Chains A and B, each alone.
Chain A
Amino acid sequence: MVNKLLGQAWAASGSAISSIAIAVLVVASAAGQSPPPSALVNRGAEDTVEAARAASPHTSESTYAYFKDEAEAFMADATQRMWDPTEPRQASPRTPWGDPDLAGYWLNVAYVPLERPAEIAGKALYSREEAVTAFVQWATRDASVDPATVHYDWTEFGMDNWQSPIRPNRRTSLIVDPPSGRIPPLTPEGQARRQQQARGHTLESRGLYERCIQGNQGPPRVPFLQNTGESQLIQTPDYIVLITQANSDVRIFHLDGSAHAPAAVRSYLGDSRAHWEDDTLVVETTNFHEGRKWNGSVGGLQLVERFTRVAADTLLYEATMTDPTTWEAPWSVEVPWPMMDPPGLFEFACHEQNYGIINVVRGARARAAEFQAAQQAEQR
């Protein structure tokens, strides 16, 4: 079945695939807003991409052919292990002191887009066959590298999602609430903030991950397209510590029943207090720093995350975002985290060696200057 699907994968123009981009940059997904200055001035980008393709001896198809056997074996294996939210969950294993055992290395990763594509509006779940089809399409696209847009060849370093324990998912969007599978409308205040948060040509306008202030834009853990979602949960009777590979961010969840820190003590990762509800760790996070921009929200985001060991090799991550000043309603995501194989994290000293931000800001400034020059030429 997988091989047949692989044959179809190239033919399938992926409306669902293109929406993966939503998961890459959640910030880019709001409709009806003017693009940031750097995008405005990206005239001729299509020409540039076509020229790069023409200049390369490689194509997406030829890069895929290089990894074809490996990718097909991966897909055949992964389709045996589907995330199906309608199936009954296993009882969580327990620690020696009786709490649900969440400790280990887990991967926050998804091909399923954050928001449900318009083409499948109203369809919350794929059939098992459809889930496999979609998965194979995504994985095939992932295992190929467009020579025009390659920055790092992640595949070569074994860092593509298809080289991770990612699996098919019957969900059609990571957002499970509201039932539309879409982020609720922004309030006028949220829209205004969102526009202010657009990336421009000053350092302060750039994303928090680009600036190495937090990895993957910080909590909640919404998967990025590239496989940088490695995480570790360390568990003691009094604490759960969540370490994320991206930026080596460390969050300490207090299990002692203590109250949140005073409102004056605000931070980029927020103040997290946790408790157990049956098999589930419930983590409430508040006190976000006012500089913590996330999808139009700032310091007022109220985050509730739920971690449940639903199988020996699967942790279910659920998060609910509430901020009445930003969204008209709360919204929730559900992401199954497969166990990492092999386990382990590396130091991610992002800021120390952030050569990238210098190039990013200089590039954005060059684009902004081009744009201004073009505008002035048009006025003359």
Chain B
Amino acid sequence: MKDLIKLSMVAVITLFAASGVAQEAYTPARTEHGTPDLSGIWQSFTTANWNILSHPVQPGPFAEQLGAWGAGRAGFGIVEGNELPYQEWAVAEQQRNYENRAVVNVTNDPSRFDTGDPEIQCFRAGVPRANYMPYPFQIFQTPEQIIIVYEYKGAYRTIYMDEDRPALDASWMGTSNGHWEGNTLVVDVQGFNEHLWLDREGNFTSDALHVVERWTPVSPYHMRYEATIEDPNVFTRPWNMSFMLYRHVEENAELKEFNCVPIVEPMMYRPLGFYEEEVPLDE
């Protein structure tokens, strides 16, 4: 009998873990103003920032200097079907991005965006990438707005909950409008620029990117993130991604400042001679 109880408990737990439906029956705590409370510090623990598709271990760029520090773990992808429906030209573009992912060429014109992962240069990550970078982010909720502050670069997004705002201009983090569907926060994001990458592999999107995100708490400590990615300039059809977010529960959990500008300055500006005290007279 004891064994039977044990067995049935294992079965229930297995079912719970395996079945999204069972988890989504979870009723999250409510905010002061009565909506599901998503506030807190969250982080994904995927390896998708290296590659949103399934990938092996990799040494990473500059392996001769960085050794295991700069290496990427193997990981399962976060893309449904593990396939990106690129248009033909975009396949070659992704390959070109990959080959030039650590090539930083700083100019005072838009050609600076031709090579190099935006992340290596401390540029904003965009959506959805900011959500699966290896950095925490914090959600703040008010009735009118939900603010997400990402530790990476201290970038933030405002999700308008009161009325839909059009994207007035292209931006890195896009323009976000949200609403609730049951316990799920659904966010429509558009108004992106044409410089965004999805990962260090050089997967990319264009300024026609349209993301619909679904944020669903499945326990006090877990939230499922799902997104539909639509970009008629780059892909032949919309595609989906999903992964789990984990709440930071340490008593002293706080977002830290990750101001990477001073970190990347020498990489970006030393080749231009901007660190030299001596000024050659013929300059």
Contact = CB atoms under 8 A, between A and B. Distances in A.
A261 B156 CA distance: 22
A203 B124 contact: no
B185 interface: no
A62 interface: no
A37 B124 CA distance: 34
A212 interface: yes
Given A239-B140, A369-B281, A268 B149 contact: no
A213 B259 contact: yes
Contacts of B280: 369
Nearest to A201: B279
A5 interface: no
A212 B122 CA distance: 11
A269 interface: yes
B154 interface: yes
A234 interface: yes
A71 interface: no
A204 B106 CA distance: 17
A235 interface: yes
Given A254-B254, A359-B108, A361-B274, A248 B32 contact: no
Given A234-B140, A236-B142, A358-B108, A211 B283 contact: no
A351 B154 CA distance: 12
**Residue from B173, B256, B259 having most chain A Cβ neighbours under 10 A:** B259
Interface stretch (B58-66, B73-81, B164-172, B229-237): B164-172
A238 to B, nearest CB: 8
Contacts of B249: none
Given A243-B156, A346-B169, A361-B274, A252 B279 contact: no
Chain B interface residue bracket vs A: 35 or more
Contact of B259 (A239, A267, A358): A267
Interface in B258-283: 259, 261-262, 265, 269, 272-277, 279-283
A365 B106 CA distance: 18
Interface string A357-371: 111010001101100
B206 interface: no
B124 A352 contact: yes
Interface string A317-360: 00000000000000000000000000001110101100111110
Interface in B34-55: 39
B256 A267 contact: yes
B219 interface: no
B97 interface: no
Contact of B257 (A234, A254, A267, A291): A267
Given A213-B259, A269-B257, A346-B171, A236 B276 contact: no
A250 B140 contact: no
Nearest to B110: A353
A258 B251 CA distance: 10
Given A347-B173, A349-B171, A252 B138 contact: yes
Interface in A60-104: 96-97, 103
Nearest to A259: B252
Contact of B154 (A203, A237, A249, A265): A249
A27 B195 CA distance: 35
Contacts of A201: 279
Contacts of A376: 281
A48 interface: no
B109 interface: yes
Given A346-B168, A352-B123, A235 B142 contact: yes
A358 B173 contact: no
Contacts of B273: 365
A51 interface: no
Nearest to A261: B254
B140 A352 contact: no
Interface residues of A, number: 49
Interface string B134-161: 0000101110010101000011101000
Contacts of B259: 213-214, 267-269
Nearest to A345: B158
**Residue from B107, B140, B274 having most chain A Cβ neighbours under 10 A:** B274
Contact of A203 (B108, B149, B275): B275
A207 to B, nearest CB: 13
A211 B109 CA distance: 16
A214 B281 CA distance: 33
Given A249-B154, A347-B171, A358-B108, A202 B257 contact: no
B279 A234 contact: no
Contacts of B109: 355
Contacts of B107: 355, 358
Given A236-B39, A349-B171, A248 B275 contact: no
A369 B277 CA distance: 11
A248 B108 CA distance: 21
B34 to A, nearest CB: 11
Given A250-B154, A252-B255, A267-B256, A366 B283 contact: yes
A372 B281 contact: yes
Contact of B149 (A204, A241, A291, A357): A241
Contacts of B195: 352
A202 B275 contact: yes
B15 to A, nearest CB: 36
Give the 4 A-B residue pairs with the shortest CB-CB distance, closest first: A267-B257, A355-B108, A203-B274, A347-B171
Interface of B: 32-33, 39, 106-109, 118, 121-124, 138, 140-142, 145, 147, 149, 154-156, 158, 168-169, 171-173, 195, 252, 254-257, 259, 261-262, 265, 269, 272-277, 279-283
25 contacts: A201-B279, A203-B269, A211-B261, A211-B262, A212-B261, A214-B259, A236-B141, A236-B142, A248-B156, A250-B156, A267-B257, A268-B262, A269-B259, A345-B158, A346-B169, A347-B171, A347-B172, A351-B123, A351-B261, A355-B109, A361-B272, A368-B279, A369-B283, A372-B279, A372-B281
